[in-house]
Amino acid sequence: MDWRKALAPWALPIALLLAWELAARIGWLSSRILPEPVAVAQAFWTLAISGELWAHLKTSLWRAASGFAIGAGAGLALGLLTGTWRQAETLLDTTLQMVRNIPALALIPLVILWFGIDETAKLFLLAVGVFFPVYLNTFHGIRSTDAGLVEMARSYGLRGWPLYREVILPAALPSILVGVRFSLGLVWVLLIVAETISAQAGIGYMTMNAREFLQTDVVLVGIMLYAVLGKLADMLARGLEKYYLRWNPAYR
Amino acid sequence: MLLAPISIDSDLLAYSRQEFAPPERKPVARQGASIVLQGLGKAYGARRVLHGVDLNLKAGEFVAVVGRSGCGKSTLLRAIAGIETADEGNTRVGNGAADASLRIMFQEPRLLPWKSVLQNVALGLPYGLGRAAAALSTVGLAERADDWPAELSGGQRQRVALARALVHEPNVLLLDEPLGALDALTRIEMQQLIESLWRQRGFTAVLVTHDVQEALALADRVLLVEDGRIALDLPVHLPRPRQRGDAAFAALEQRLLERLLQPATSKG
């Protein structure tokens, strides 16, 4: 009973894979358009053994992690600032809301002019894209703290940093984690684009390079890797929610 | 599920009744503080909520404040607590020599959902986990210390809030309709618990309520607030613990209710 429940979400993907394999074997699908799953698995295996795959993966993971750290860190810091102090909101929020409406990817020409085509440009793009979900949700979380709880904590003598640490921050945490989860999803989308512009390493580079040589199987390995990485990032975000929001029945 | 806490409560009450048996309260060292209000006034914009309220509460007194909703009784309590600042007049709690400590219990428990029950009780007491555990056992919830507030029933949450207020050993306990949202049975239990703790500890208690029976069951004095003024100050000389079916109790209840139900225009 239990294993059935655990396997149920995988039934559809497995069925699709089987249908795909079958279609390729019969000859409905040409391998130039879509190679069979077995060929993709073989390409994965070859890349993994040669070590090429891991080098690309490492580069991409590093980019995603540092871009996320910079963008989400700045978003959290500014969100806390504008959420807590009205003056900071007055000064900064309008500007940030205007910038928010520019799609991060529209900045690509400018970013290339500013930073060239090396790592800085990619990190900048990732950081800008990741910044806003975290910023907006942090701001919202701080602002929607239950005033009754703050009033109670004040009447129990909590002021300043203890009040912030014990009441305001934990109250904003569910909202902050929503932003983090959204950003972790977004970071891969941005990474794909950033890596396909110009790169000498990374999964995006591997994929674009394979396209040049019509290696559809390697292209598919790259696409699958993004799917897996996206799923892993989502699991990480869920894990954070499960741990930090374990007091909340909705997350247990 | 409901049975366990009830039995703990009644044990606790039985014990406290033996020790502080009627007819008269023991003159134990009282820790209550007196409260003096002089000409307290408060307005929200053009709407005046309190009109020059003068009030003297003796140390260790249990006072209930009743009135229709919107009459200003909650504002009065919040002004005493210092949560609301009055526009005119002044408030003095205690004799001014020592800092009298004052705690308020709200209509909702207002527990921090991300802290365990024990940590909630220890709020504002950096090294007070031991005392918090003791306070939790006085309200009969010692075994729920490590649970999250979300796992408790409404009545249990209010008991945790009571423990949180009492762990500070306040001189004054302000109660802003804390039992309003509870079912009738839990409510009577909580009233008995509050009464027994008040008798043991002797703090000054001010209870805002819309329930006349509750006011008469607990208070030495019932104040009726009408349009931001104290319209009636009724001493209650009934022996404790009070029986709700009692003739004198019923007569007082009748009197208060009649006064409350008078149309607002015909007041003196």
Hey, is B21 helix, strand or coil?
Answer: coil
Of B110, B148, B149, the CB nearest to A152: B110
* Peptide bond just before B113 cis, omega within 30 deg: no
Q: What is the mean pLDDT of residues B248-256?
A: 92
Of A148, A156, A166, the CB nearest to B108: A148
Q: Are the Cβ atoms of A170 and B112 closer than 8 angstroms?
A: yes
pTM here is 0.80
Over residues A202-212, the pLDDT tens digits come to 888 898 888 88
Does A26 map to a domain?
Answer: no
Task: Please identify among residues 146-175 of chain A the ones whose CB lies closer than 8 Å to any CB of chain B.
Answer: 148-149, 151-158, 166-167, 170-171, 173
Closest by Cα among B23, B3, B48, B8 to B229: B48
Q: Are the Cβ atoms of B112 and A249 closer than 8 angstroms?
A: no
pLDDT at residue B268 in the model:
42
Q: What is the mean pLDDT of residues A179-207?
A: 87
Mutate which: B77, B84, B123, vs A, most A CBs within 10 A: B123
The predicted complex's ipTM stands at 0.79
Work out the angle at residue B125's Cα, subtended by the Cα atoms of residues B140 and B149, and round it to the nearest 5 degrees. 45
Q: Which sign does the torsion angle of CA B159, B163, B169, B175 carry?
A: negative
pLDDT at residue A196 in the model:
79
Mutate which: B110, B157, B166, vs A, most A CBs within 10 A: B110
Token reading at B73: 């009784």
DSSP of B70-125, one letter per residue? TSSHHHHHHHHHTSS--SEEEEEES-SSS---EEEE-SS----TTS-HHHHHTTT-
Q: Are the Cβ atoms of A149 and B114 closer than 8 angstroms?
A: no
Q: What is the mean pLDDT of residues A162-189?
A: 93
Work out the angle between the directed axes of helices B184-201 and B154-166 (0-180°, nearest 10): 10
CATH superfamily of this structure's domain B31-48+58-101+171-261? P-loop containing nucleotide triphosphate hydrolases (3.40.50.300)
Token reading at A58: 């490492």
Over residues B107-149, the pLDDT tens digits come to 999 999 999 999 999 998 877 889 999 999 999 999 999 999 9
Q: For chain A, what is the mean pLDDT?
A: 89
Contact B177, B107 (CB under 8 A): yes
- Number of domains composing chain A: 1
CA distance B199 to B216: 16
Measured between beta carbons, the chain A residues lying within 8 angstroms of B104 are 155
Shortest Cα–Cα distance, B114 to chain A (Å):
5
Q: A129 Cβ partners below 8 Å, 6+ apart?
A: A71, A104, A105, A186, A187, A189, A190
Does A7 map to a domain?
Answer: no
Question: In chain B, what are the domain boundaries?
Answer: 31-48+58-101+171-261, 112-168
What is the percent of chain A with per-residue pLDDT over 90, rounded to a whole number?
A: 46
Over residues A88-127, the pLDDT tens digits come to 988 988 888 888 888 888 888 888 888 888 888 899 999 9
Task: Please identify among residues 58-87 of chain B the ones whose CB lies closer than 8 Å to any CB of chain A.
Answer: 81-83
Mutate which: A156, A158, A168, A251, vs B, most B CBs within 10 A: A156
- pLDDT band of residue B77 (cuts 50, 70, 90) is very high
- Provide the domain limits for residue A223: 36-251
Q: What is the mean pLDDT of residues A61-69?
A: 94
Q: For chain B, what is the mean pLDDT?
A: 84
Hey, is A231 helix, strand or coil?
Answer: helix
Which CATH number covers residue A231?
Answer: 1.10.3720.10
